[in-house]
């Protein structure tokens, strides 16, 4: 009788979203995925560096993490790894939050550095797409931070983590509803200045975009009413397409974005700030398009867990 692997689970706690991935190795050396869940609790709502996580955001997040623990139990998960990214790096009360999760959900969240976050994302892409021979230029837009990674032959050569994200930039720059042209141009100007200081990358590198922002922008371009990862996975988002999507989003109040474009209630207000990061990235690196990936930290974490 052959070996029957037990499923493992990876949980990522981010600024805007929580992710749960449950899977096991398949016969081809890849992953057989049983659950891939993303739920938005906005743990980092209103958070500034050195500030505190808000009690309501903590309660929302812990309630969702409890449901994740129940899902893991129902799948008879053998091993579980959970990591926290920007909001837990930034919050003064992150340690208290981790202790509450241990007490109420019965698993530990490990707070990871921006460097480890980038390594896990890169691992997810290299393992998932067999890109060892292809240089990669990766953009991972989060709610509170953005990682840009350049690597080839399966190894990272350069990476930078910027303390800018879709949630934090919305709070700082895009306060009108709908967004005013002056606000939009002001945000783009700041982002262009920030990214102009970054080193250039090999022009042959494949540009890959990871995270909810880029997946959502692709979904809007495709006119999807219900988002499923398979529908956007490895699709190409071009500059003309992105420009058209941005103009549509700018013309609509947040409530109409939710209704007419079927955006998640906790994504509709921050999507334009994320789109601005993508615009500045494509300009800085002189790329005409970016390939959309639904993989990210949770996939790298699961690969690592299964390999240990």
Q: Dihedral sign, CA of 187, 120, 239, 258?
A: negative
In total, the chain counts a number of residues equal to 308
Cβ pair 298, 140 in contact under 8 A = no
| pLDDT, position 26 | 81
Q: Does residue 158 sit in helix, strand or coil?
A: strand
What is the structure's pLDDT at 71? 97
Q: Are 124 and 305 in contact (CB under 8 A)?
A: no
Count of domains observed in the chain: 2
* pLDDT score at 1: 35
pLDDT in tens, 222-271: 998 878 888 999 999 999 999 999 999 999 999 999 888 867 777 889 99
Domain's final residue, options 59, 79, 112: 112
The pLDDT of residue 2: 44
Whole-number pLDDT of residue 27: 76
CATH number at residue 38: 3.30.420.40
| Prediction pTM value | 0.92
User: What range defines the domain where residue 99 resides?
Assistant: 8-112
191 found inside a domain: yes
- Per residue in 138-174, pLDDT tens? 999 998 899 999 998 889 999 999 989 998 899 999 9
pLDDT lower than 50: segments of the chain: 1-3
Cα 246 to Cα 60, 179, 278: the distances in Å are: 30, 11, 11
Q: Are residues 168 and 211 in the same domain?
A: yes
**In this structure, what is the dihedral angle of CA atoms 239, 242, 244, 245, given to the nearest 10 degrees?**
180
């Amino acid at each position: 009788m052959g070996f029957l692997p037990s499923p493992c689970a990876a949980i990522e706690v981010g600024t805007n979203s929580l992710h749960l991935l449950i899977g096991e190795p398949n016969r081809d050396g890849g992953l057989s995925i049983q659950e891939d869940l993303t739920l938005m609790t906005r743990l980092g709502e209103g958070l500034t560096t050195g500030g505190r996580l808000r009690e309501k955001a903590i309660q929302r997040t812990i309630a969702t993490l409890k449901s994740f623990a129940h899902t893991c139990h129902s799948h008879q998960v053998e091993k579980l790894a959970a990591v926290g990214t920007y909001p837990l790096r930034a919050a003064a009360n992150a340690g208290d939050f981790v202790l509450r999760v241990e007490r109420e959900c019965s698993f530990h969240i490990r707070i990871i550095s921006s460097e480890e976050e980038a390594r896990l994302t890169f691992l997810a892409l290299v393992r998932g797409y067999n890109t060892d021979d292809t240089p990669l230029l990766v953009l991972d837009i989060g709610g509170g931070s953005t990682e840009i990674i350049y690597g080839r032959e399966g190894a990272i050569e350069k990476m930078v983590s910027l303390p800018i994200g879709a949630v934090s930039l919305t709070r700082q720059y895009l306060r009108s509803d709908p967004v005013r042209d002056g606000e939009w141009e002001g945000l783009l100007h700041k982002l262009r200045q920030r990214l102009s200081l970054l080193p250039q990358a090999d022009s042959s590198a494949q540009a890959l975009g990871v995270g909810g922002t880029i997946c959502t922008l692709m979904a809007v371009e495709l006119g999807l009413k219900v988002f499923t990862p398979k529908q956007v996975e490895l699709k190409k988002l071009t500059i003309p397409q992105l420009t058209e999507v941005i103009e549509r989003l700018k013309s609509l109040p947040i409530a109409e974005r939710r209704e007419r474009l079927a955006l998640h209630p906790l994504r509709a207000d921050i999507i334009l700030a994320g789109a601005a990061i993508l615009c500045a990235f494509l300009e800085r690196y002189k790329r005409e398009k970016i390939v959309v990936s639904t993989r990210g930290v949770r996939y790298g974490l699961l690969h690592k867990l299964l390999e240990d």
